[in-house]
Each structure stands twice: as C-alpha cells, then as structure tokens.
C-alpha cells in the first residue's frame, strides 16, 4: 500500500478484525501475518521494534501521567531527550485541538478528548503503520462526529499507512481510501468506499449502510430470495449478465420502495402485499418496516406527508413496489 493510504477493516463480531490487528502487532500466537513496511520485512521483530503504533478502543492512556507526558511517552521510549519529546508532544496535541488540556490526567478528560490524546501519542512517534481499533466506538453520537472529522483531517496529513478496524461501515466509508470487508476470517470485498457503498458484497454491510439486502439464488430474471418470493431485475446494459444458479445479493435503497393503498396499476414487475410493522423517524423522513408473505422484510423511506395520505400506522396493509431498474444485483 502507498504511504498516506487509510484502509478500513469492517465486519460483524467474530469476523476476524481484531485477530488481524493483533497478528500485525505480533501479539497473538494464534495467527501469523507477514508484514513488510517499505522494503523492510519486520515479521520477526518484536512489537516495539516494528515501527507500528496502536490506538486501542479505550485509548489505554497511563492514568498517572498528564496528557503531555502520555503523548511524550513513546518518544522517550525511543530515546528522544525529554525536552524535545515534550515539544513534539505539544505540537501534536495542538494539532488535534487538545493542547490546552496538556496538564490534565486521563480521569479529567472526556471520552473524545482522551481519544485525541491517544491519537496524538501514536502520531508523535511517526509510525510507518498506524493501527486504530474501533477508535470511535465508545463515544456518544455528537462526540463521534467531531472526532471523526478531526481524525479524517489528520489522517490526510499522515505519511504512513493507517489500518482502521471498525464494525461501522458508515465510519469506514467516511474515513478510508479502501475498505476491506471480512466475514468468518476471509476477505469478502476489497474495494474503494464508493464501490462498497454502491455494490456491497455482504448483506451485513448493505444493511449497516441502510439498504435493503436480499441474499438468494440468481435466476434468469433476477433473484430468488432465500426467504421466498421472486425478484425481477433489469441490470444496466453494460453490466455482465449474472450466471443463473449461483449465489447473489439484491440491494435496494429504501427510497426506491414505493407504497400504495392497493395493488398498483400498470402491474409493476415487483409488487408485494405487505403489512406495516414499524415506523421510525429519520431526519425529515420516515422509515417504514414492512413484512409480507411473498417477500423478505423490506424498508421503505417516505415523507411524513405521504405517510399521512396513506394513513400509515402499525398493522395497516399496503402494497410495496420496486422498479426492476432500481435494484442492484451482485453475484457472490
């Protein structure tokens, strides 16, 4: 990977994300990873000599040291004189917007502040590989957005390679140059964020990105979902035709699902009788969860006005339709 690249590793619990991270660090005997940094093979080196910095989920700051001393710790461990280490540490704290907190100990910092100090400590030693283990997972929603913005800004100026481990595909798409999707210890997809968002090769990733995802078997017309029913798909003219009989995944954006009080006129190719099971607000729109005998669970996104016109509430029967051209079909 080129210097300056950020790679996000995503997957559900147990996919192998943390095992990969610990193998790169040389911390687990259960897994092995060959690691080359530039032209150097550092596989046989102990963790502290690999040129790798690690920011765990909780930051792992030393509770008895100030933010400044925490940030300077790695530099001092590498033999940098105390005054120089503290100067460099302060520069990194200032860059991350927590320089004014240099005198505070971890117990006096908020979660977001502590994460920035931990990141400053990692960046101060100028690692060639930076490993971030779910750095935003423990933060509340508003703090997470602030730290994500700061993290993106500072990763843009990072001269090494960053590996970001996360369970949140939204976070991965926002921060990474490449996304690596793991499932059961194997790679499911390795692609730019836009490709993962547009054509996810994992139902879990698609759903975490807010899409409807129907795994099933490819057919000549589209897909036979594993949970029953049939889906007709009209792929783009320049897209290769999937081979019938193989596994596939149909991805449908919630805003592409239309709701009707009765069977829609014109006989759309994908129309299903459904029942409303849940309605939730999403900003200025509503998300409607639907279930039906002829299709898997389906999420539609509509305006409050449209919901009022349809008289939607839990238990109300409706028809849902999806245009064949609005479905992305991925061969797995």
Structure confidence by residue, pLDDT tens digits, 180-215? 999 888 899 999 999 998 899 999 889 988 899 999
Residue 79 φ/ψ region, left for φ over 0, alpha for ψ in the -120 to 50 degree band, beta for the rest: left
Clarify whether residues 167 and 287 are in a common domain: no
Within-domain flag for 223? yes
Whole-number Å distance between alpha carbons of 65 and 55: 17
- Look at residue 22 in the predicted model and tell me its pLDDT: 82
Q: What is the pLDDT of residues 317-331, one digit of tens each?
A: 999 999 999 999 999
Burial (0-12, 13-18, 19+ Cβ within 10 Å), 15 = buried
- The DSSP secondary-structure symbol of 32 reads -
CB 327 within 8 A of CB 251: yes
Residue-level pLDDT at 250: 95
- Cα–Cα nearest to 259, from 294, 213, 310: 310
Check whether residue 190 and residue 215 sit in a common domain: no
Q: Rounded to an integer, what distance in angstroms lies between the CA atom of residue 87 and that of residue 37?
A: 27
Task: State both tokens at 44.
Answer: 């046989």
Distance CA 23, CA 256 (A): 42
Phi first, then psi, for residue 305 (nearest 5°) are: -65, -40
Residues 69 and 18 in one domain: yes
Q: Which CATH number covers residue 324?
A: 2.40.50.100
Q: What is the pLDDT of residue 24?
A: 84
> Tens digit of pLDDT for each residue in 26-54?
887 655 667 777 778 887 887 778 888 88
- 219 and 307 in a common domain: yes
Instruction: Report yes or no on 123 lying in a domain.
Output: yes
Give me the pLDDT at residue 29, please: 66
Number of folded domains in the chain?
2
Of the residues 136, 167, 198, which one is the last residue of a structural domain?
Answer: 198
Q: Within this chain, do residues 171 and 246 fall inside the same structural domain, yes or no?
A: no
Is residue 205 a part of any domain in this protein? no
Residue 236 lies in a domain: yes
The verdict on 135 and 58 lying in the same domain is yes
Range of the domain at 278: 210-331
**DSSP E strand stretches across 81-234:** 129-133, 161-166, 178-183, 186-191, 212-218, 222-225, 231-232
Q: pLDDT exceeding 90 applies to what percent of the chain?
A: 50
- With the CA atoms of 234, 236, 237 and 241 taken in that order, what torsion angle do they form, in degrees rounded to the nearest 10? -70
Residue 217 sits in the same domain as residue 93: no
Closest CA to 74 of 57, 94, 49: 49
Residue 317 counted as domain residue: yes
In this structure, is residue 80 part of a structural domain? yes
How would DSSP label each residue in 282-308? ETTEEEEEEEETTEEEEEEEE-HHHHH
In contact, 132 and 55? CB cutoff 8 Å: yes
Per-residue pLDDT tens listing for the chain (332 residues): 777 889 999 988 888 888 888 888 888 765 566 777 777 888 788 777 888 888 888 888 999 999 999 999 999 998 999 999 999 999 999 988 899 999 999 999 988 889 889 989 999 998 889 999 888 877 777 777 777 887 888 787 788 889 999 888 778 888 899 999 998 888 999 999 999 988 999 998 899 888 999 999 999 999 999 888 889 998 877 777 778 999 999 999 999 999 999 999 876 789 999 999 999 998 889 999 999 988 888 999 999 999 999 999 999 999 999 999 999 999 98
Predicted pLDDT of residue 7: 93
Is 128 in the same domain as 194? yes
CATH number at residue 181: 3.40.50.300
Same domain, 169 and 268: no
Asked whether residue 204 is domain-assigned, the answer is no
Provide the pLDDT for residue 112.
Answer: 84
**At which residue do the structure tokens 């992305």 appear?**
328
Domain boundary among 163, 198, 233: 198
> Among 148, 177, 198, where does a domain finish?
198
Phi, psi of 70 (to 5 degrees): -60, -45
| 175 and 305 inside one domain | no
- Give the chain's mean pLDDT: 88
> Is the entire prediction scored with pTM above 0.85?
no
Cα 200 to its chain centre, rounded Å, is: 12
Say yes or no: 168 and 218 in one domain: no
Question: Do 72 and 15 fall within a single domain?
Answer: yes
- Is 1 within the bounds of a domain? no
Give the pLDDT score at 31.
58
């Amino acid at each position: 990977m080129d210097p300056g690249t950020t790679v996000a590793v995503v997957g559900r619990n147990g996919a192998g994300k943390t095992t990969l991270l610990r193998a790169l660090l040389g911390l687990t005997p259960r897994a092995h990873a060959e690691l080359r940094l530039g032209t150097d093979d550092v596989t046989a080196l102990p963790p502290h000599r690999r040129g790798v910095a690690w920011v765990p989920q909780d930051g792992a700051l030393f509770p008895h040291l100030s933010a400044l001393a925490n940030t300077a710790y790695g530099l001092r461990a590498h033999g940098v004189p105390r005054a120089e280490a503290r100067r460099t540490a302060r520069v990194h704290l200032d860059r991350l917007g927590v320089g004014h907190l240099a005198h505070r100990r971890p117990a006096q910092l908020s979660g977001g502040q502590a994460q920035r100090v931990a990141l400053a400590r990692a960046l101060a030693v100028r690692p060639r590989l930076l490993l971030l283990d779910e750095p935003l997972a423990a933060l509340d929603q508003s703090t997470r957005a602030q730290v994500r913005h700061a993290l993106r800004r500072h990763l843009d100026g990072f001269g090494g390679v960053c590996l970001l481990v996360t369970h949140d595909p939204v976070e991965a798409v926002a921060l990474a140059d490449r996304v690596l999707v793991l499932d059961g210890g194997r790679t499911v997809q390795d692609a730019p964020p836009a490709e993962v968002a547009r054509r996810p090769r994992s139902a879990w990733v698609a759903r975490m990105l807010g899409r409807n995802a129907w795994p099933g078997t490819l057919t000549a017309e589209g897909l036979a979902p594993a949970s029953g029913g049939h889906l007709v798909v009209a792929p783009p003219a320049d897209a290769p035709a999937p081979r019938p009989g193989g596994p596939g995944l149909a991805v449908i954006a919630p805003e592409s699902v239309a709701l009707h009080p009765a069977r829609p006129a014109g006989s759309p190719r994908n129309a299903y009788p459904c029942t409303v099971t849940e309605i939730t607000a999403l900003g200025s729109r509503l998300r409607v969860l639907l279930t039906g005998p002829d299709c898997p669970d389906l999420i539609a996104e509509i305006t409050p006005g449209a919901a009022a016109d349809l008289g939607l509430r839990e238990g109300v029967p409706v028809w849902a339709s999806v245009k064949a051209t609005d479905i992305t079909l991925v061969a797995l």
